[in-house]
Amino acid sequence: MYSELFKTFTEQGEKAFGPITNYNKLVVKNIEELTALQLSAMKSYTDAGVEQLKAASEISDVQGLVDFNVQQVEAMTRLGQQMIEDGKKLAKLGQDFKSELDEMASETLEKASPVV
């Protein structure tokens, strides 16, 4: 008798807390991916900045200044492209999270809805 009671209690607990657990796992996964994206972007932008500082420190004449200015335009173009790519990655991350959340919500509603 008690084993059936505990079995029922366990099943009801899983049904009640299962969606919350799945949601928490999804949020943690999304935070991990977002953090990885941000760290990657920060490293990329920092490396680009340090590279430009090194190039600026090597200017020793007028030709070096001209070359540096040309290099600055190229660096800004690369940086702009990198920012566009990072924006696309961030948008995809958000869209994937929304899709998974929608799927999770519909599954939970199906399980919770009584069969008529």
In a domain, 32, yes or no: yes
Mean pLDDT, the chain, rounded, equals: 89
The span from the CA of 73 to the CA of 55, in Å, is 13
Does a structural domain hold residue 38?
yes
Whether the pTM exceeds 0.95: the reply is: no
* Residue ranges in the chain whose pLDDT is less than 70: 1, 9, 113-116
For the segment 60-81, what is each residue's pLDDT rounded down to a tens digit? 999 999 999 999 999 999 999 9
Within a domain: 81: yes
Q: Does residue 114 form part of some domain?
A: no
**What pLDDT score does 1 carry?**
65
Write out the two tokens for 22: 């799945």
Cβ-contact 83, 44 below 8 angstroms:
no
Question: What distance in Å separates the CA atoms of residue 82 and residue 76, rounded to the nearest whole number?
Answer: 10
Q: Is 90 a member of any domain?
A: yes
Query: How many structural domains compose the chain?
Result: 1
Domain that holds residue 89: 2-104
Give the residue carrying structure tokens 């070096």.
64
The alpha carbon of residue 84 and the mean position of all alpha carbons in its chain are separated, in whole angstroms, by 15
